[in-house]
Amino acid sequence: MNKEKQYKTYTERMQKIADINNAIAVLGWDKEVNLPVKGARFRSQQVATLSGISHELFVDSEFGDLLEQLNAGNSLDIKQKKNVALSLKDYQRNNKLSKEFVIRRSKIVSESYHAWVTANKQSDFEIFKPSLKKLVDLKLEEAELIGYEEHPYDALLDEFEPGMTTAELETLFIDVREQLVEFVKEIKQQPEINSAFLNQFYQKDKQWDYGIEILKTIGYDFGAGRQDISPHPFTTNFSSEDVRVTTRIDENDFSNMLWSCIHEGGHALYEQGLPSDQYGLPLGAHISLGIHESQSRLWENNVGRSKAFWNHHYPALQALFPEHLGDLSVDAFYAAINKVQANLIRTEADELHYHFHVLIRFEIEKGLLEGSIPFDEVKDIWNAKYKEYLGVDVPNDSKGILQDIHWSHGSFGYFPTYSLGSFYAAQFYNQAEKDIAGLEGKIASGNTSELLDWLRTNIHAHGRFYSSQEICEKVTGEPLNFKYFMDYARKKFGSIYGLK
């Protein structure tokens, strides 16, 4: 078989696997949006069965031989060769996991999700605790099967942020502790900003309609997606032409819906911008979750919480909710949506305290995996760290250790990508300001299309061709540098709080 036919065979196999994985994703989306309570048991079985089939197709020895043969040849073009090389790397990682393990993992994760939903509703960690113990043991087993050099967390982190190590994260979080913590202390010395108007009654349907309009404004294509309600906002995709987002609405907290829409919209813009001609192949997929998060945080914070953005959009929002915002200036609104104040909930945290929330989760995950945190003490340690880092007392489990869905998905190693994303976002946005003349003025006039085009050209269009580190250097000329986030934070919040 010549290389052209071999590559076609490879593509057909990869797209078949993608079809199965995207069917799993549809079932996952339905699970969190529509699934009746009694459907949980068989849904877990359905997902587990499909996961097993997908895994079996990917780790098949004949497919591995095909990848080896294609990778050894020189007749492929640069994109084809990159696709094969990345698939071979993924094959070698996945081949370390047996079909039995993948099916068992899928069942445990599905059951854990439903245990988390029940526990969260009842605010009772004891309901979820046995599932969490199973998940920690499962992820330790997975780390051992995959292998690592220094820390079991490295093996899990590599799934979400390839190439990143636990040691590198620890160094990065030292910058957070030494620079960001001190800056937040300066802010806390300033008078408190009034944001009470954000926590009055905002009618659900009006919030929903406004969220839809904001998504359209930033470029989300509703012809290739939709928005629904779920307990925890998320983005999922079944191709670049079917990318769906969810939000949640609290009628007494307008911020909840607004930032969920923009954040998930940023994720969706990335997925909708991936090349559709590479469906099922690595070059049709996102680079890493850190880069994915950079897209959502860039739209949520660098754009969505900017003064320029609200100079254009605030009058329409005032007209929609005149009883709360009619007499309120755009400056007061801008200050309120950027208020820095310690709180309990990660997804509702301000831009700066957000990274303390991530740091806590990183320390707990790492501790559970290395055994430095006794499992029976995990809830108490969570509560103690919130007191230490944020100075808040955790009143109940749903606002504490049960607030995030991620552990119920088995996503250990995921949380650090949230902070990485914000740091990448600041660096990318700094470069975009250099490359797009008058970017702030364009955003102030309602034009975000040039920024989206810049992101599509520089990041989205490449799929996984470059690693996170490579795309950062390609776009900005240097590796990830925490300096850009601190410069951005000092400029923005220094102005809001009148700091020198």
**Active site positions, annotated:** 264
Q: What are phi and psi of 80, to 5 degrees?
A: -60, -45
CA distances from 259 to 90, 151, 300 (A): 34, 35, 6
Closest CA to 235 of 208, 190, 270: 270
**Six-digit token string for 462:** 């490449």
Half-sphere exposure of residue 356, counting CA atoms within 13 Å on the CB side?
30
CA dist 90 to 282, 442, 484, Å? 10, 41, 32
Contacts of 470 (CB under 8 A, 6+ apart): none
Cβ(63)–Cβ(13) below 8 Å:
yes
Alpha helices in 375-415 (DSSP H): 378-390
Burial of 336 (0-12, 13-18, 19+ CB in 10 A): middle
Partner residues linked to 250 by β-bridges: 253
Measured CA angle at 247 (ends 43, 334), to 5 deg: 160
Q: Which residues contact 428 (CB under 8 A, 6 or more apart)?
A: 294, 298, 455, 458, 459, 472, 475, 476
- Burial state string for 374-405 with b = 16 or more CB within 10 A and e = fewer than 16: eeeebbebbbebbeebbeeebeebbbbbbbbb
Crossing angle of helices 378-390 and 354-370, in 10° steps, is 150
Q: Sign of torsion, CA 213 218 221 227?
A: negative
Task: Let me know: does 17 contact 60? Beta carbons within 8 Å.
Answer: no
Q: Specify whether the backbone of 413 is left (phi greater than 0), alpha (psi in -120 to 50) or beta.
A: left
**290 in Cβ contact with 421 (< 8 Å):** yes
